[in-house]
Structure 1
Amino acid sequence: MNIIYIHGLDSDANSTKGVLLEKYCQQYHPDISVYRPDLNSAPEQVFEQLVKLVTQLNRDAETVLIGSSLGGYFSTLVSNHTGCAALLLNPSTQPHITLQRFASESSSKASGERKALENEILHITAGGWHITHADLQWFAAHPLGLINYPDKMAVFIKEGDELLNPYLSRDFYRALDARVTLQEGGDHRFSDFDVQLPIVIDTLQRLLQP
Structure 2
Amino acid sequence: MILYIHGFKSCGWGNKSRTLQEFFKDVIAPDLPPRPIEAMKLLQHIIEKNPVDMLVGSSLGGYYATYLAQKFTIKSVLINPSTRPYHTLKPYIGIQKRFCDGEKFAWKEEYIKELMQHDTNNLRKNLFLVLLQTGDEVLDYKVALEKYANQRRIVEYGGNHRFENIDDYLFMIKHFREGHGGR
Could you state the TM-score of these two structures normalised by the residue count of structure 1? 0.78
Cα drift, residue 165 of structure 1? 0.2
Indicate the SS of the match to 2:179.
Answer: helix
CA offset digits 1:34-83 (Å, max 9, x no partner): 1011113310111111111111113xxx5210000000000001111111
Indicate the SS of the match to 2:27.
Answer: strand
- Name the counterpart of 1:10: 9
2:29 alignment partner, one of 23, 27, 36? 36
1:170 alignment partner, one of 137, 140, 145? 145
Say whether residues 1:179 and 2:152 are aligned partners: yes
- Name the counterpart of 1:138: 114
1:190 alignment partner, one of 154, 163, 173? 163
- Name the counterpart of 2:95: 123
Q: Which has the larger radius of gyration?
A: 1
Q: Could you tell me which amino acid in structure 1 is paired with residue 96 of structure 2? A: I
1:154 to 1:124, Cα distance in 2 relative to 1, 3 A: same
1:40 to 1:163, Cα distance in 2 relative to 1, 3 A: same
The list of structure 1 runs, each at least 4 consecutive aligned residues, that deviate by more than 4 angstroms after superposition, is none
1:69 to 1:19, Cα distance in 2 relative to 1, 3 A: same
Give ranges in structure 2 of 5+ residues lacking alignment.
none
Greater helix proportion: 1
Say whether residues 1:89 and 2:63 are aligned partners: no
Indicate the SS of the match to 1:206.
Answer: coil
Q: For 1:25 and 1:9, locate their aligned partners in 2 and report how far apart those are by CA, in whole Å.
A: 24
Could you state the TM-score of these two structures normalised by the residue count of structure 2? 0.89
Alignment check: 8 A CA contact 1:157 1:166 kept: yes
**Greater Cα offset, 68-77 or 136-145:** 136-145
Q: Could you tell me which amino acid in structure 2 is paired with residue 57 of structure 1? A: N
1:57 alignment partner, one of 50, 56, 72? 50
Indicate the SS of the match to 2:3.
Answer: strand
Say whether residues 1:200 and 2:176 are aligned partners: no
Q: Cα RMSD between the aligned structures?
A: 1.8
Indicate the SS of the match to 1:136.
Answer: helix
Cα drift, residue 18 of structure 1? 0.0
Alignment check: 8 A CA contact 1:94 1:144 kept: no
Say whether residues 1:159 and 2:159 are aligned partners: no
Alignment check: 8 A CA contact 1:40 1:128 kept: no
1:128 to 1:150, Cα distance in 2 relative to 1, 3 A: farther
Alignment check: 8 A CA contact 2:9 2:96 kept: no
Cα drift, residue 20 of structure 1? 1.0
